[in-house]
Chain A
Amino acid sequence: MVDSRRLREVALTPEEYRVIVEKLRRPPNPLELGMLGVLWSEHCSYKTSKTLLRRLPSSGDAVLQGPGENAGAVEIGQGWAAVFKIESHNHPSAIEPYQGAATGVGGIIRDVIAMGARPIALLDSLRFGPLPASRHHFDGVVAGIGGYGNCIGIPTVGGEVYFDECYAQNPLVNAMCVGLVRVDRLMRARAEGTGNSLLLVGADTGRDGIHGASFASVELDETSAERRPAVQVGNPFLEKCLLEACMDLAHTDAVVAVQDLGAAGLTSSVAECAGRVAGAGARIDVSLVPRRERGMSPYDVMLSESQERMLVVVQRGREAEVERIFQNWDLTSAVIGDVTDDGHLTVFNRTELVARLPIDLLTDGAPPRRLVGIAPEPPPALRLDSLPPLVNAAQSLLRLLASPNLCSRRPIFRRYDHMVGDSTLIAPGGDAAMLRLKGTRLGLAMTTDCNARYCHLDPNLGAQHAVAEAARNIVATGARPVAVTDCLNLANPDRPEVYWELEETIAGLALACRALEVPIVSGNVSLYNETFPARGQGDQPRSGRPDGEVPLAIHPTPVVGMVGVIDDYAQRLEAGLKKEGDFVLLVGSSHNDLGGSEYLKVEHGTVAGRPPALDLTREAAVNRLIMAAAKAGLLRSAHDCAEGGMLVALAECCLIGGMGVRCPAIRPEGTLRLDAAFFGETPGRFIVSAASRAMPELQTLARRHHVEISLLGMAGGETVEFEGQFRLSLSEMRQAWEGGLIN
């Protein structure tokens, strides 16, 4: 029996060790134990979430590849497939923000390359503690994303960022990559064909990142800084060469499969590639792996997470042909083994057998963890009747526009190259980004969304909102939502209330994705995003958890990445008002939805109540109306109402369009409060603008879709005015909006 310290090092439990010995009918040697440790880590095995994840819908007419591959793929028309995936790099970014974020970007790009697709866009969903305290995380992560994306030449076109205390020690960095490939050239990372060669290409293997996957599968604590060697260092230039060389592989038919080396390095890469083919195995010789340093043991080589490496399965006898392609880009490549039919991963160091493990034990052997979820105390209720009425709408609007959660993201996205590729039709700063498919009229819209405050107040409903808002953002460009990739960020599921959050989150995602007909084709789960802040930096590491100490845990943050398609990008819509004299309209109706709102937080200093009720049937109807109106050319602009409600959305339409609006006073009817009419966050609403001549047809269309549409005012001028209520100049608003992140 190994000692418990050794087991903790490889992040395995005694029970898991018992299962390993039983299956192997012998104790694993230290290398085998390390290999099983990384592949059985939560990060690689999804042992806590995998039974729940099966509840997510993943099929649909457009789906070419669902979960289980390096990335998902959907057909988007004219023979093209969009390949995409989102992945977390939270723990590394907490310890080393620049490299953590940079390698997060690098890793997700390789996932898309492995599918045979050319990466065309990046998006990043970020969460930090409040500024200025979390400035080091924020600056490092933004610089790291830019450093990698700008150098490799893939535009960073979208994403989101929110600030909340719960992320102060657990910032979230979720990177999404979208790629394009002809449907008939879509690749799968399957190690087919006994005797075919395994070619390792790209960076030499070093000692960096050993046990990164295991590190990502425990809570951060005061010893985490010592884990810095578990964070890898990125080389975007090398990956650019790797990317181009992999694109050049299309010129040969000698390549069977391409697999990224990510978490758990060579071990995971080879095992997953073989694991996708029934009965397949692999035999590798670690002495053939090109190394960055001397004296590396087989253990180091098998577990290294050195970046910018790919595994290529090549037809036997055609290795030289493929190696020439990599040589052209001055990339190292080496045949390190071959595909077998014995269902085992067998590792040699020259002639010495150093490990032999069944593939299915590695990839699928981790016993699912059956945890119990218990609902925590519900959050404080919101008593609307005790909420003071709105005093000064103009001042509230200015404070909301300056809120770090709502203000202009320009200080961030102008640090990212968002135009390289000559395809960016809708740049960052609006709802979804949109890229054209060169040589066609097709536009591909993409977004990431999650209001984690909603998820904190109600994980199920919050997850539904994340899907609904992503869909609205896609629809606001005129595109049709097609499919989803998700990144579930949660705290430690061993605590029953967190496991309950996980269950509820997945239930909410499943419900909303089914209702809005957007299958989830890829995704990632990041657990253990919590820390014990009471333990000071200088304290001695303690083992176990002190009784009664409450961890600082993140809100459940299920980030939804969504793509959509517009058949003719000439019909695309942007958020900004376009023309003086256009009618500005509110699509959808407003209710007293102040629960969990940004208004409540900014103006009343509380997070309370339930998120707004969400009628998914109604969402779908409103979305259909906007898509139909865009297609009929009836709209000049569209913007979805989200955090900050109608008035913030309207202000954004004005600020983005550089044009004011003049509206009659808002006199809410019935029980609707004025603060809710202005700042409530009722879903299913858009601000649109239209030429007066389009109005009759637009109203007819709205009636046909049973969607309420009401006139807000008329575009034009340099102010936002609600007659008799308030008037603000665009310049005053702009000052608030553009200064929100600079402090």
Chain B
Amino acid sequence: MHGGFRVKFGVVVFPGTWSDRDCGWVIDQVVGAQLQYLWHKDADLKGCDCVILPGGFAYGDYLRTGAIARFAPVMQEIGEFADRGGLVWGICNGFQILCEAGLLPGALIRNVSLEYRCEWTHLSVERADLPFTSECTEREVIRVPISHGEGSYFAEPAVLSRLEQNGQVVFRYCDAEGRVVAGANPNGSLHNIAGIINNRGNVLGMMPHPERCAEPELGGADGLKLFKSVAGSALRVLVS
């Protein structure tokens, strides 16, 4: 490490968030980075280098996923942080919240099966040049579990083609061989989209849960690459 510097991850906790502790575990115990929980009522990001919006059912998600959470005091700060180029990473419910908040385009709608799905998926990494994916290689297939009832990515045709043209699709559901096929799509997402990045390249939203696969005993450790990417990237930004 550079002079003992450790990247500081912020993990946002809304009432109803449940992946906060899992993200915290990986950051603190597996990656060995600095961990700061950020309470939804706080309007202060406490100097974090990367802010994670974790999975869960923020405020119960009874109205529509992420619809209430976007109004939380902490979200104002996160919007400004993103505008300044800070790294924001929405996972599952966090992705839904980022879409509701307008930080990412499109929406996550009910799974085409109309059922909740918790299972392993394969993801094709479409962009390996991002701060979130620098430890991956392009077209690499990683294995990451999903757990959601409303994870079907939807966007207007114009938005979708813009995403594709700009190369903003970061992860696509694929089979074990990396083929992006309908049978590998667990929720009916358009273009098999599992994760997208904003135009500037600093706000990532993804439905799968990398924090659930950062240690081999949990069935796979591919998710660790994403955390390590962020740790390394944020470090490069800071020491450059």
Contact = CB atoms under 8 A, between A and B. Distances in A.
Interface stretch (A273-281, A381-389, A421-429): A421-429
B205 to A, nearest CB: 19
Interface in B67-108: none
Interface string A402-421: 00000000000111111111
B228 interface: no
B211 interface: yes
Of the listed residues A416, A420, A422, the one surrounded by the most CB atoms of chain B closer than 10 A to its CB is A422
A151 to B, nearest CB: 5
Given A151-B60, A237-B60, A415 B18 contact: no
Nearest to B59: A237
Contact of A237 (B21, B25, B57): B57
A150 B22 CA distance: 15
B212 A414 contact: no
Interface string A233-247: 001111011001000
A62 interface: no
Contacts of A240: 15-16, 18, 57
Chain B contact residues (Cβ within 8 angstroms of A): what range? Answer: 20 to 34
B96 to A, nearest CB: 14
Given A414-B117, A415-B117, A420-B22, A151 B16 contact: yes
B133 interface: no
Contacts, number: 84
A414 B118 contact: yes
A427 B219 CA distance: 9
Contacts of A419: 118, 145, 147, 209, 212, 218
B126 to A, nearest CB: 25
Contacts of A238: 60
Nearest to A421: B22
B15 A420 contact: no
Interface in A144-158: 146, 150-153
Interface string B95-130: 000000000000000000001111100000000000
A150 B15 contact: no
Contacts of A244: 15
Contacts of B211: 422
Contacts of B15: 237, 240-241, 244, 329-330
Nearest to A439: B29
Interface in B4-42: 15-19, 21-22, 25-26, 29
Interface string A423-440: 111010000000010110
Contacts of B195: none
A422 B212 contact: yes
A418 B217 CA distance: 15
A569 interface: yes
A153 B118 contact: no
A416 B119 CA distance: 9
Interface in A99-152: 146, 150-152
A420 B218 contact: no
Contacts of A417: 116, 118, 147
5 contacts: A153-B18, A238-B60, A414-B117, A417-B147, A420-B19
Interface of B: 15-19, 21-22, 25-26, 29, 55-57, 59-62, 115-119, 145, 147, 149, 209, 211-212, 214-215, 217-219
Given A237-B57, A416-B118, 14 more contacts: A150-B118, A151-B60, A153-B19, A236-B57, A238-B60, A240-B57, A330-B15, A416-B116, A417-B147, A419-B145, A422-B22, A422-B26, A422-B215, A436-B217
